[in-house]
Amino acid sequence: MCPGLNADGEGVRSVEARLMNEGWECPQTILVVMAHPDDAEFYCGGTIARWAQEGHRVIYCILTSGNRGTKSLDADLEDLKRTRQAEQRQAADLLGVESVIFCDYEDGFLQANAETRKMVVRVIRQMKPEVMVSLDPTLFFSEREGVNHCGHRACGEICADAVYPAAFLPWYYPELREEGWNTHRVRELWLAHTDVANQWMQVSEWFDLRLEALLCHASQYRDRDRFIAAITAERDGQGGYSESFRRIRLEAAP
């Protein structure tokens, strides 16, 4: 019997999660790991809103504080960190995200190494997601930004290495088992912000909610109307909106 269903097959959470084009038969626990506050809303906010509305359990893990996301020379970086965390919580609440975990690594200096991988492995073993969402570490130059942020690339690499094989093999970070966090196998890795997509999510219905969540990140734009115009331009010529991912199924991995 699927997790989240009772003996009669009715949903404890929503059975409507059966499911547009993912092929899932049960509500999923979905862990979204991003480099900065606002990355999730920018790159997959419509999909996150749809998943939450359909009854999936969505959790955020934000690796850096985002405290360098300003052009102001007299910015208080600790104050900016607190502001960006508050903005992220507000945006997550709007989208229906269950909780937000902040890891507080220094913005701009995130590295894919044993220590950061351990942090993500711990979160995976704690939250036990079936599905994990992050950023494509292979995208160096992006059409929108020119150079893809180093934090985005590092975040994707950390997550890929955590998912396979560290999270599910017992002799990776055995101290985590001593803390009570046993191994866990993630079944799917979805990479947003990619130029090799193989999964497209039609989420026009959730575009306005995504925009509202993006507007929560007020520290990251100066001109609200100009920002709204830029986001609205992401719709296609018919007013539709979709988000793309590189979807990697890991169930068959040895």
**Number of domains composing the chain:** 1
Write the pLDDT tens digit of every residue in 68-89: 988 888 889 999 999 999 999 9
Q: Is residue 9 part of a domain?
A: no
The answer on pLDDT for 167 being more than 50 is yes
pLDDT of residue 21: 67
Q: Is residue 181 part of a domain?
A: yes
pLDDT of residue 193: 97
18-27, 49-58, 135-144, 236-245: the lowest-pLDDT one = 18-27
* CA dist 23 → 158, 168, 205 (Å): 27, 23, 20
Stated pTM of the model: 0.91
Write the pLDDT tens digit of every residue in 200-246: 999 999 999 999 999 999 999 999 999 999 999 999 989 999 999 99
Q: Which helix (H) or strand (E) holds 116?
A: helix 114-127
- 234 secondary structure, DSSP code: T
The answer on pLDDT for 249 being more than 60 is yes
Q: Is residue 10 part of a domain?
A: no
Q: Is residue 15 part of a domain?
A: no
Q: Is residue 2 part of a domain?
A: no
* 59 φ, ψ (degrees, to nearest 5): -125, 140
Higher pLDDT, 51 or 15: 51
Q: Residue 133's beta-bridge partner residues?
A: 32, 190
Q: Is residue 8 part of a domain?
A: no
Rounded to 10°, the helix 114-127/150-161 angle is 60
Q: Is residue 14 part of a domain?
A: no
pLDDT of residue 13: 42
The answer on pLDDT for 104 being more than 90 is yes
Q: What is the mean pLDDT of the chain?
A: 91
CB atoms within 10 A of CB 146: 7
Structural domain harbouring 156: 28-68+77-249
CATH number at residue 106: 3.40.50.10320
pLDDT of residue 71: 87
pLDDT of residue 69: 87
* CA dist 115 → 103, 122, 228 (Å): 12, 11, 38
Average pLDDT in the 115-122 region? 98
The answer on pLDDT for 6 being more than 70 is no
Q: Is residue 51 part of a domain?
A: yes
Say how far apart CA 124 and CA 118 lie, in whole Å.
Answer: 10
> First and final CA of the chain: distance in angstroms?
25
